[in-house]
Structure 1
Amino acid sequence: MDRASFNIARVRSALLIGSALVNLGVPTWALAETAPESDSGLEEIIVTAQKREQSLQDVPVAVTAISEASLETNRIVSVADLNGIAPNVTVRPAAGGTQIASFSVRGVNSYGVVPGSDKEVSINLDGVYISSARGSIFDIADIARIEVLRGPQGTLFGRNATAGAVSIITRDPTGKFGGTLSGTIGNYHQRRLRATLESPQVGPFSAYVTFQHNERRGDTVNTAAGLVWDKTGPDGLGKQTSPKTLGDNNAESVFAALKFEPSDSFNMVYKYDWASNDYTPEANVAVALNPNSGNGRLLSLVMNNQVAGVATTGAFVGQTIQAGVVPVFATSGLRTGFATNGWTVPGKQRYSGHNLTANWRATDNFSAKAILSYRKSFLYGASALQGMSGMVITPAANAAIQADTSGLISTATKAAYAAAVGNRLHEGGTQRIYRNEQYSGELQLNYTTELVNATAGGIYFHSNEQEGGPSTMWSSKSMYIQIPNSTGLLPQANGTTGAQSPNEARFLPRATSIAAYGQVEVHVLPVVDLVGGVRYTHDHKTGTSYIGGLWNPATPGDRVNGVMTYTPSQVSSFVYNNNQWSYTFGVNYKPNNDTLLYAKYSRSYVSGGQIGNLPWKPEIAKSWEAGAKTTVFDGKLRANLAVFSVTYDNLQFANGGAAYALIRPDLALFPTLVVSSRPPARARGVELELTAAPTRGLTLGANLGYTNFKFLGPLNGEVLSIAGLCGTEFALNLPTLGACEIAQSKNYRNTLTPKITSNLWAQWESEPLFNADTRLSIRLDAQIKSSMRIDANLDAPLPQPGWAALETVPSTLILNGRIALSDIQMGGINTTLALWGRNITDDKHIQFPGGVGAGVERSASFQQARTYGVDLTVKF
């Protein structure tokens, strides 16, 4: 049986298991559930998806809630762990060492990678919108609940939630003295230690503090380890070494909460979080190379002439350079455990936040909440995006280049390589420093009677960002041949960087948003409610971009002392102002306490903006959704169904800037660009979530999501060029771009968006063992995704026959499991011992694709390797 057939077979088997569960009358799914304590049925789930506490079954929103117990059972410690948890939702780390959580929700990719751009899925921590996409993969201790809302959420959650929202709620102090100490040991040198100390109630005050250390060695060996890059400069980076393994994490965090509750009607909770993570970016592995393209030909000749042990003299700065390496390829499109990432060096992530929330219940009908927040973050990452960095232009490689007669290498290029013998060939990479600072304040009012539920509020938000390469160094570059072994491309004595000017790009975007919102639910009949909500938002953005140019040291050759002056070749500033309305209208029908039928229409948006000289319009999402929520069989079976249709105008998406030089040469230096599709795009689908407790101690679950996404018309020429459909893949010039648009854009496809997602799980908990409270529990999860494209254009000619297998990632099945002995009583100390595994079958498929340019090279990062370990937790 071949690999594709095997994957189809195992997905079919998993789906048959799910069908069998349905036929038995016990199909189930809701991660917020644990095994019920009695035969009475499933426990009630309380969510705040509408800014007030409600039962999950009473909320006319497609939402999956994950409780504190299920977070522990499923080992969910960061946003990235939400992959596969909810129907039509996938999450993966983006390439480039940016710590970005790339979401795909209902057929739409939420990325937010471009400086100053926003994303389609908003992440909220204790009611505070986190604007930064970079660094959005982070550990948070003491999570009480995570709610994953699908579909436009613009009325209550604001701008930048056209595909959905993730709401993370941390727990408040309990006022009961106690503590928790837990530790983990696992493969890949996993070590995790978490310690929590909770204070007793002292007058109106209670508090707790948690410290957490989490480390793990990466699952990929770097065959270009040990390369030293001298990045000495004003940012204090110093000399850095390419690491032995890729995907490392070494994080420490502190979370603290202080509650002031002078009365039953008023309380204030202050929360502080701080974290530091020294990590290495995920591996990027070359999977295909086209030697019949210009750059592909050069790479092939250099790769085939890496002589073991060669040591040549770098003509660039006159120093001895280390031997080059032959790049590792994963031609099958599966993880091999090896990568050649010579340019990659350890990254640094730092963030902290302050949150003050005040709650006041004035009467039984009226309450108010105020939230003040300040957050800041820092990220430094340098990553080899194409998996081929670390090679040396050896004398043998230069001889092969000079002798080449293919016609793909120009005379000027041959001369440049001849002058660079002994230097490293840097092929596709980035190095970025990112800083973000944000302030926000929100006032929320709630009014509830037997006739009406009303919520109103206002919010102020402001953020400052800084992004670019380290001072005096470039930020991103493809095919740079004049990088000596010991430099990060710093200015020479005359302030230049050699024959090629640096690809400098520095961005300083700022954003302010002021909004007012209100939503009313009116009980017009005993079983019918009408719902209406509206939000008005004013967006004000400004920013400056510095492109190209030179860094000039105060003293020639001095990298650190004195004042570095920067002379950009292009400076672009912009001012963006825009006002938008978001709204929702719906009807709820509740014939009894166990059934809710709802239908609604919503409008939401993602803010527009500008980078350099390129503006983009707001993305508008208009959605129809209908759903049914029911609980039957005396509360032992819960079924939630949603069907939806969303139309997106000016859908924002990002692509590499290399192809953009075709029509906008002044913007070719941008690492990535965001654009808006001129024709509408439409996503239609269905979501089903089922949960059941057929017998005492047994909980079963299943979910299923299906989305059909397509563009409703031809993309415009600008979008096609940026997306690499015409300018690069078909080598067409601007005058013929219109013909390419008509012929090819109809077959443009979204990437990384599987049509079908599903999750099947079962959890069993025993009766008390050994005449005590000790219980044995077992849980198994199966996450299923249908095949998904990683190449956008169905019509693009394949440069090599072997590339056909790299157009699509086949259907995948990920198994996670846990076995635990809990509530072991030892002298007043409650102990839990658990054995767990993630990706038990060791799936190796592509997770995030990359490439230098269409038709030149393909690279990818892969599903994280199988991990397993043991947890020991004690509570007192």
Structure 2
Amino acid sequence: MKQPNFQKSLIAAAVATLLGSPAVLAQQNEDAKAEDGKLERIEVTARRTNESLQEVPVSVSAFGEGELQRDGIEDITELQYKMPNTTFQVSRGTNSTLTAYIRGIGQQDPLWGFEPGVGIYIDDVYVARPQGAVLEVLDVQRVEVLRGPQGTLYGKNTIGGAMKYVTRELTGYNEFEIKGTVGTFNQRDLKVSGQTALADNFYVGGAFATLNRDGFGEFVNTGAENYNKELMTGRFNAKWLVNKDINVKFAADWTQDDSNARGGHREQESLLSDKPRLTDVYDSYSAMPTWNEVETEGYSLTVDWAINNDWMFKSITAYREGFTNTNIDFDSTVNPVLLVPAVYEDDQTTQEFQFMYRDDRLDFVGGLYFYEGEACGEFGTVLGLLNLSIDTGGCVDTSSEALFGQATYRLDDQWSVTLGGRYTRDEKDADVFRYTYAGVKFLDRGDYSADPIVVNSDFTTQADWSEFSPQASVSYQVDPAVMLYASYSNGFKSGGVDMRADVSLNPDASKPYDPETVDTFEFGVKSELLDGRLRLNAATFFSDYQDMQVTVQRAIEGGGIDSQVLNAADSTVQGLELESTFAATPTLNFTGSLGYIDAEFNSVEFFNSDTQQVEDVSDLWSFQNTPEVTANLGFTKEFALESGSMVWSTSISYRDDTQIFELPSPLDEDGYSLTNTSLVWYSNSGQWTVGLHAKNVFDKEYRLSGYNFGSDLVENIVTGYYGDPRTVSLSVGYQF
């Protein structure tokens, strides 16, 4: 590689470091072999500045590009098995919609207008909607997951935590990489990426991937594939070094997912169909087309300016949009019992201004954040056997402004104190409709001229909320290898409007629900022991979760579903987390993580439309998608060969019993373990890699989610969605 002919000043290098734009050296440090058996330094930007993982008083996990490629990680959902108290999963009948929970806080329902509890960020740009948020690993430098409320620096809807997807930095070097993968179920993947300098001060780069796989099963009555993959994604980057103090970066990304909508596995025999219940959990029936289309794209412009030796400024301007058109058969039979065609569309514009200051004792990050977004959608509830169709839809316009700041002051070489806060104001305008029609009707009204027989809902509403989220922490550097910290943080998730509201069943359903908040106290230790060969980080936390937004959907007699979103619950969440890496020898590393969480509802009150009474069901409810124990144990062993080196890595992950919904149901999953193993050869030149990856080695069958309406709608509707079976893939990569 030939380095472009230009000179960077020290202050420009500081901009790259302090403004969260890690230079190539940071990645080299992350992927470098440990010297003398010591562990390498891991850089993160959890506090919007570049710091060592061991210096940040935050419970955070980080995964570098080298580790992701070595383990054959394909998308971010696979990381849940490497982290404590974390759930990243594909949502039910979809392929690229994300269900994310951290420490018991998240979002089960991916309906438009509902806010996530875990913030997803692509290069500091907030991704507001879960559709298309199952991010593929492409052109990525590292992934960081911050646990606990991140309401000060990240703000909007990070009540549970935040996940940062950091793409590769443009360096101006000539680089090209191509990687092909084949595997079981006719997997056929191709990834291409590269970058170059068009001038001494102007760099460009890009990446493209086409990812394809046959289904794990099929829709038996139609022959269509089930759990298949047909996806293309790409990104383009450009960087302009205006002068020694200013650089401008542009990024664009897009994804097109044409995989079939997923069909669920019937957990109970059908009451109406003469078709047998299928034994293969990846096979299904469907009474509607199984096509699905998800499109997302985003653009961002980032300006970094080193004002002087102490002050720096950053501007992030971004726009994102998404479109989803899908069909989901809830009951998974050949009968049209409960069919749900759906269309979602959203766009968002964000602007963030950051000011940063650093001297020998004080680090400060502060600024302004603005968000404008519109989320629209419409879905049908086709009850074919009842000869009824219900159309539900509407739009939510959201405006959000925030003022934030956080400062860390080093009292001496051992003590540091951090104080921060964020003031946020959210405003939402929503229109909601819900109409019931006689007959079978799909979403295209142009083919259906009949008037609705019932206007269940047709209203507009507006609400606004403001919230101040404080944060404080103190850290004590016992010695160069051990740091203790204690912190308090507050987070909130925005209020909203129930887009399924049925005013005919519940007159209060049109009222906006308020934000939910959490106060978390955390105590932790970060240490590197045994002369830098053992990294041991631990944290314990206690959270007071208030005004929890509870989504309740109940099938009612005569057809229809009563939906409510209420600030109906208060709860307590407490637990501990442990992450460790041990360099037993210069060529053998062990890794491990352990999470324990005790989450319980103190009170849950909601309106029962059947009894017309408010009921407290806290003694019946438990936290969803929150296993009590999560654990991972793995090793990496390197073997020296004449042609290069061979690295063998294996991990075993465990997730305890998991309740899918707040109420116990037949969908709840017992604890299970998964084993993954990889064998990767690296050539001496560093240009060639060959990887053999086996996942779910013992072909464990495990359920992730589902729909549960029992037999309240004429038919038993208990359908489950499952994790991937055993897969084996072979990858060959070349780079220069």
TM-score (norm 1): 0.75
Partner in structure 1 of residue 146 of structure 2: 149
| Deviation by residue 1:805-854 (Cα, 9 ceiling, x = unmatched) | x36422111111110111254xxx81111111111111112111322247
Residues 451 and 37 (structure 1 numbering): CA distance in 2 closer, same or farther, change over 3 Å?
A: closer
Q: 5 Å matches for 1:434-583?
A: 434-469=344-379, 475-477=380-382, 479-481=383-385, 500=388, 502-548=389-435, 569=455, 570-583=457-470
If each structure's strand is expressed as a fraction of its own residues, which one has the higher value?
A: 2
Q: What residue is the counterpart of 2:586 in the other structure?
A: 696
3-state SS of paired residue (1:465): strand
Output the CA distance in 2 between the equivalents of 1:562 and 1:626: 61
After superposition, what is the alpha-carbon deviation per residue over 1:67-103, rounded to whole angstroms, capped at 9, x for unaligned? 0111212233333222212111122211132732112
The 1:121–1:78 alpha-carbon spacing in structure 2 relative to 1, beyond 3 Å, is same
Q: Which residue of 2 is the match for residue 777 of structure 1?
A: 647
1:133 alignment counterpart:
130
Which SS does the other structure have where 2:114 is aligned?
Answer: coil
Q: Is the 8 A contact 2:266 2:331 kept in 1?
A: yes
Q: 2-side partners of 1:523 and 1:178: how far apart?
A: 41
2:708 maps to 851
2:34 counterpart of 1:47: no
Instruction: Give the alignment partner of residue 677 of structure 1, picking from 568, 574, 578.
Output: 568
CA contact (8 A) 2:118 2:163 kept: yes
- Residue 342 of structure 1 corresponds to 287
What amino acid sits opposite 1:77 in the alignment?
E
Distance 1:839 1:563, change over 3 A: closer
Once the two structures are TM-superposed, the CA of residue 35 in structure 1 deviates from its matched residue by 7.3
TM-score (norm 2): 0.89
Supply the AA of the counterpart residue of 2:301: L
Q: Which structure 2 residues correspond to residues 345-744 of structure 1 after superposition, within 5 A? A: 345-388=290-333, 390=334, 425-469=335-379, 475-477=380-382, 479-481=383-385, 500=388, 502-548=389-435, 569=455, 570-611=457-498, 612=501, 613-659=510-556, 673-678=564-569, 680-713=570-603, 715-718=604-607, 721=608, 733-734=610-611, 737=613, 741=615
2:277 maps to which residue? 328
Residues 98, 379 of structure 1: 8 Å contact kept:
no
Q: Does 1:177 align with 2:163?
A: no
Q: Which amino acid aligns with 1:303?
A: S
**Structure 1 residues without counterparts, runs of 5 or longer:** 1-31, 227-243, 290-298, 305-325, 391-424, 470-474, 483-498, 722-726, 728-732, 795-802
Other structure's SS at 1:156 match: coil
Q: Alignment partner for residue 202 of structure 1, among 187, 199, 203?
A: 199
Aligned-partner Cα distance in 1 for 2:661–2:437? 36
Q: Higher helix share goes to which structure? A: 1
Mapped contact 1:183–1:872 kept (Cα < 8 A):
yes
Aligned mates of 1:265, 1:529 — CA distance in 2 = 30
Q: How does 1:293-308 map to 2 (within 5 A)?
A: 300=271, 302-304=272-274
What is the CA–CA distance in structure 1 between the aligned matches of 2:445 and 2:529, rounded to whole Å? 70
Runs (5+) with no aligned partner, structure 2? 1-28, 502-509
Q: CA deviation digits over 1:51-78, x for unaligned, max 9?
A: 1111100100000001011121223333
Indicate the SS of the match to 1:199. Answer: strand
Residue 111 and residue 361 in structure 1: after superposition, are their counterparts in 2 closer, same or farther (change >3 A)? farther
Contact between 1:189 and 1:216, CA under 8 Å: does it hold in 2? Answer: yes
CA-to-partner distance for each residue in 1:299-328, whole Å, 9 max, x for gaps?
52x324xxxxxxxxxxxxxxxxxxxxx152
- How much does 1:359 deviate? 1.2
State the SS of the aligned residue for 1:72: helix
CA distance in 2, matches of 1:353, 1:287: 39
Per-residue displacement from partner, 1:536-560 (whole Å, max 9, x unpaired)? 00101101112106699xxxx9x89
- On the 8 A contact 1:34/1:699 being kept in 2, the answer is no
Pairing partner for 1:787 from 648, 657, 664: 657
Cα 1:532/1:42, change in 2 over 3 Å: same
Partners of 1:505 and 1:669 within 8 A in 2: no
Change (3 A) 1:614 1:386: farther
Aligned sequence identity (%): 22
Give the drift of 1:791.
Answer: 5.7
For residues 53 and 399 of structure 2, the distance between their equivalents in structure 1, rounded to whole angstroms, comes to: 33
1:568-619 Cα offsets, whole Å, 9 max, x none, are: 9342101111111111112111122222111011111000111341421110
Q: Determine if contact 2:625/2:658 at 8 Å carries over to the other structure.
A: yes
Q: Give the 3-state SS of the residue equivalent to 2:171 in structure 1.
A: coil
Residue 677 of structure 1: CA displacement?
2.3
User: Hey, what's the Cα distance between the residues in 1 that align with 2:717 and 2:206?
Assistant: 49
Secondary structure at the counterpart of residue 279 of structure 1 = coil
- Higher RCO, Cα 8 Å, sep 6+: 1
Question: How far does residue 529 in structure 1 lie from its aligned partner after superposition?
Answer: 1.2
In the alignment, what sits opposite 2:727? 867
CA distance in 2, matches of 1:134, 1:566: 32
| Residues 833 and 872 in structure 1, CA contact (< 8 A), matched pair in contact too | yes
Separation in structure 1 between the aligned mates of residue 281 and residue 497 of structure 2, nearest angstrom: 40
Corresponding residue to 1:823 among 680, 683, 686: 683
Q: Does the C-alpha gap of structure 1 residues 114 and 163 become closer, same or farther in structure 2, counting only changes over 3 Å?
A: same
* Pair 1:222-2:214 in alignment: no
Q: Give yes or no for contact 1:36–1:693 (8 Å, CA) kept in 2.
A: no
Task: Quickly say closer, same or farther: Cα 1:861–1:655, change in 2 above 3 A.
Answer: farther
SS of structure 2 residue aligned to 1:81 = helix
| Amino acid aligned to 1:450 | D
